[in-house]
Amino acid sequence: MKKNKQLPLDQKYELYEGSVQNFEVDIEFINKEFKKTYGKKPLILREDFGGTAAMACSWTTQSDAHQAWGIDLDPEPMAYGRKVHYEKLNDDQKSRMNYVQGNVLDRYQFSPDVIVAFNFSYFIFKKRQQLLDYFKAVRKALPEQGAFFVDIFGGTDCNQELEEKTKYDNHTYYWDCDSYNPLNNEVQYYIHFKVGGVKYKKVFSYDWRMWTVREVVEIMEEAGFKTVTTYWEEDDDDDGGNGEFYRSTVEENCDSWVTYVVGWV
């Protein structure tokens, strides 16, 4: 069997972050919605399934009072994050940024204002009870006036076996839905990259269950969140998304969408 060409580790995560992450927008959204709900800014962030914890590192740069924890089981992306993102922080910011190689289901001693599970990372939980257990653990970790932010995607294309590509200045990014099982909503996704004319296949692999917004809302409510808010993205002039999200409960489906669901304590 022919093996796929392997990207160097540093390039692997650099391309990933450049293709799919926009944590500055996420932070802006968190600050805006948290203040709208509680009338104050959130100061302490816990980034679950944090990988390189690029978002958590950036969080600490907002003020001298901002603290962050990035939690992940895999030491490989955390090592990259420490090398690339953590080292860019000044000494004071580093003192307020914490990498934790651990399980998001575990109990930790610090009390964050906000917990996030972005990049659809919680899709790794395939059974309803597993997802409920995780949401309950998050709810227990949050204080009064805390919030849990997740992103979610869907649309008619999300379960089609197809490969989409996006060209960037120095690489091409491929999002590949390799298989979808309609009987249990389980999917196999891959991310491929093309760099310098060479295509690196299956650089990232995701064996997930596709959860719906309604399922996530109901499980958050069952986990003890008092209010759960769903959002939708505004259209731009070309009928695409413009990056601005508003609270909504009724929308039309489309080929592809990405949005937020927030549980409020």
Clarify whether residues 181 and 219 are in a common domain.
no
Q: pLDDT at position 68, please?
A: 98
Give dist(CA 198, CA 109) in Å, integer.
46
DSSP string, 198-220: EEEEEEEEEEEE---HHHHHHHH
Q: Classify the C-alpha dihedral 9-10-14-17 as positive or negative.
A: positive
Whether 130 is in a domain gets the answer: yes
In eight-state DSSP terms, residue 123 is G
Q: What is the pTM of this model?
A: 0.95
Whether 259 is in a domain gets the answer: yes
Whether 2 is in a domain gets the answer: no
Clarify whether residues 176 and 138 are in a common domain.
no
Clarify whether residues 31 and 109 are in a common domain.
yes
State the total domains in the chain.
2
**Which alpha helices (DSSP H) does 21-106 contain, by range?**
23-38, 54-59, 75-84, 91-95
Q: Which residues contact 145 (CB under 8 A, 6 or more apart)?
A: 38, 40, 113, 265
- Pair type for strands 227-235 and 198-209: unpaired
Whether 3 is in a domain gets the answer: no
Give dist(CA 19, CA 11) in Å, integer.
12
Task: Give the range of the structural domain holding residue 182, as residue numbers without chain letter.
Answer: 163-207
Q: pLDDT at position 231, please?
A: 98
Of the candidates 151, 97, 118, the residue with the CA atom closest to the CA atom of residue 17:
118
Residue 124, Ramachandran bin (φ over 0: left; ψ between -120 and 50: alpha; else beta) = alpha
* Residue 47, SS3 per DSSP: strand
Clarify whether residues 175 and 215 are in a common domain.
no
Clarify whether residues 96 and 185 are in a common domain.
no
Q: pLDDT at position 159, please?
A: 87
Whether 169 is in a domain gets the answer: yes
Clarify whether residues 147 and 127 are in a common domain.
yes
Residue-level pLDDT, tens digit, the chain, 265 residues: 456 678 888 899 999 999 999 999 999 999 999 999 999 999 999 999 999 999 999 999 999 999 999 999 999 999 999 999 999 999 999 999 999 999 999 999 999 999 999 999 999 999 999 999 999 999 999 999 999 999 999 998 888 999 999 999 999 999 999 999 999 999 999 999 999 999 999 999 999 999 999 999 999 999 999 999 999 999 876 666 788 999 999 999 988 999 999 999 9
Clarify whether residues 144 and 105 are in a common domain.
yes
Clarify whether residues 220 and 174 are in a common domain.
no
Clarify whether residues 35 and 144 are in a common domain.
yes
Give dist(CA 148, CA 243) in Å, integer.
20
* Residue 189, SS3 per DSSP: strand
* Residue 246, SS3 per DSSP: strand
Clarify whether residues 87 and 174 are in a common domain.
no
Give dist(CA 78, CA 205) in Å, integer.
18
Whether 1 is in a domain gets the answer: no
Whether 4 is in a domain gets the answer: no
CATH number at residue 73: 3.40.50.150
Give dist(CA 173, CA 176) in Å, integer.
10
Clarify whether residues 58 and 87 are in a common domain.
yes
Whether 186 is in a domain gets the answer: yes
Clarify whether residues 230 and 133 are in a common domain.
yes
